[in-house]
Structure 1
Amino acid sequence: MTARTEHRGEVLPLVARALGLWRDGRTLLDNVDLRVEVGPLTVIMGPNGAGKSLLLRLLAGLIAPDAGSVTWAGRAPDRVRIKRLGFVFQAPVLLRRSVADNLRYALRAAGIPKAEWHERTASALAEVGLDRLADAPARVLSGGEQQKLALARALAPGPEVLLMDEPTANLDPTATAAIEDRVGRARDAGTTIVFVTHDLGQAKRLAGRVVFLHRGRVTEDAPAARFFDAPASEPAAAFIEGRLLP
């Protein structure tokens, strides 16, 4: 059974104002505004080099902007308690311990009472089909299994918000479908999700809202149905039609 999201309302809205990021004289993000509240899954998409992953890292507080600000319910990212947010990135970083120990570590870091660890670990692993591998070393898992573990670890504390950066970019179709299924169930259980992808098909399957980035700028922010049926910006239209390569 999918656990429902806890701590609702403690970190949202997420507000980014006039974000700018520069490196070596190059503009990587330019005057980016974004607001995320409880609601549909938000997909950030655009071609390679558009700034999608950089934007997600700025939102998470992993890097600092050169201009603008990011707040979570009015607080800076470093003031948000870790159990409120979940992170899943393209290349999962796993502990050289057992599958179950990876989850227990996350639960400990999030301040979840020890009495809850066993049930949460068992439930989270069952949700992604890894319960039979609970005692296996994480390092022996396949790429798809490692990403499932990373997702289970992110969701085990019951975060309000889940940030995901191209989590299926290196996976085969079967593993991708499994990750998307678990993401969809987390969304339906109340987790607010911000999901970076350059895969049009994936965005159509998951998104309730699309934020389109091109050359470091947001050129469109629209409900998914409207974005795909009638894009309002030329870069978005070109991307959907295949004239702007992913």
Structure 2
Amino acid sequence: MTTLLHLEAADVAIGPVTILHGVSLRLERGERLALIGANGSGKSTLLRVLHGLLPPARGRLERDAHARQAMVFQRPFLLRGSVVRNLALGMWLAGVPWKEACERAPQALVRVGLAASGLRNARHLSAGQQQRVALARAWSLQPDLLFLDEPTANLDPPAKREVEALMADFAHAGTSMVFASHNLGQVKRLATRVAYLEQGRVLADLPVLEFFDRGRLAEVSREADLFLQGELPS
């Protein structure tokens, strides 16, 4: 298997506060890694470190230099103007020539089921549609690795199903993923592997079937087992 990412013994601090403590993770091509844990456990920070947006204060991150990456945030930032222009600008800022970006943008909207919304103001779309635009923008960059931070948070059930279906489609097409989620059902449906974070540390990292095997999980991490039982860390 090809290693896409290798994070080793990483500490991350924001000001005087250390957010991640000695985190080590390796991601192989084709894996779909779910990050779970309570609010403030470090999931979003870890995503940003893996994507290269935050440098570790200690430790190191090694990435496959040939792998293309993209990230979808919990609340996607959309520029003023039409949906199709948002996509074209995203590609152009990533180095795609403008003419090619304008040609690829409508194809990306077809991919996420928004072909009829290309000329609408992106900021006037529903939350679910905006998240699909963000996924289209990411997909248009043809990433080998996609990072998603709570991609279905605050969406209604139909919109959640639409976004999950798109994530599954991307995975089936060969895109590797790292995503943070509070939805354990979503984790079971989409992940091949699960990492549990608590207070900035990875306390369990297991294949998805082993993670949701209570006996196996209890052997690895009492804290993760309690989290699955609904006991939040103090």
Shift of 1:195: 0.6
Identity among equivalent pairs (%): 44
1:235 matched to 2:223? The reply is yes
> What does the per-residue CA deviation read over 1:182-202, in whole Å, with 9 as the maximum and x for residues that have no partner?
011001101111111122111
Which shows bigger deviation, 170-179 or 15-24? 15-24
Shift of 1:234: 0.7
Shift of 1:27: 3.2
- 1:157-176 aligned within 5 A: 157-176=141-160
Report the secondary structure of 2:212's partner residue: helix
- Distance between the aligned counterparts of 1:99 and 1:190, measured in 2? 26
> What does the per-residue CA deviation read over 1:55-112, in whole Å, with 9 as the maximum and x for residues that have no partner?
1111122222221111212x6xxxx88xx11110001001101100111112222333
Q: TM-score, normalised by structure 2?
A: 0.91
Shift of 1:22: 3.0
Letter in structure 1 aligned against 2:212? F
Letter in structure 2 aligned against 1:33? S
Q: TM-score, normalised by structure 1?
A: 0.87
1:138 matched to 2:122? The reply is yes
> What does the per-residue CA deviation read over 1:109-156, in whole Å, with 9 as the maximum and x for residues that have no partner?
233355543553222112222111101111111111111101100111
Q: Structure 2: give runs of 5+ residues left out of the alignment.
A: none
Aligned residues: 229
- 1:112-131 aligned within 5 A: 112-114=96-98, 116-131=100-115
CA contact (8 A) 2:89 2:101 kept: no
Report the secondary structure of 1:111's partner residue: coil
- Distance between the aligned counterparts of 1:115 and 1:127, measured in 2? 19
Letter in structure 2 aligned against 1:198? H
Out of 25, 32, 39, which is 1:48 matched to?
Answer: 39
CA contact (8 A) 2:9 2:60 kept: yes
Letter in structure 1 aligned against 2:182? H
Considering Cα pairs closer than 8 Å and 6+ residues apart, tell me whether 1 or 2 has the greater RCO: 1
Letter in structure 2 aligned against 1:99? V
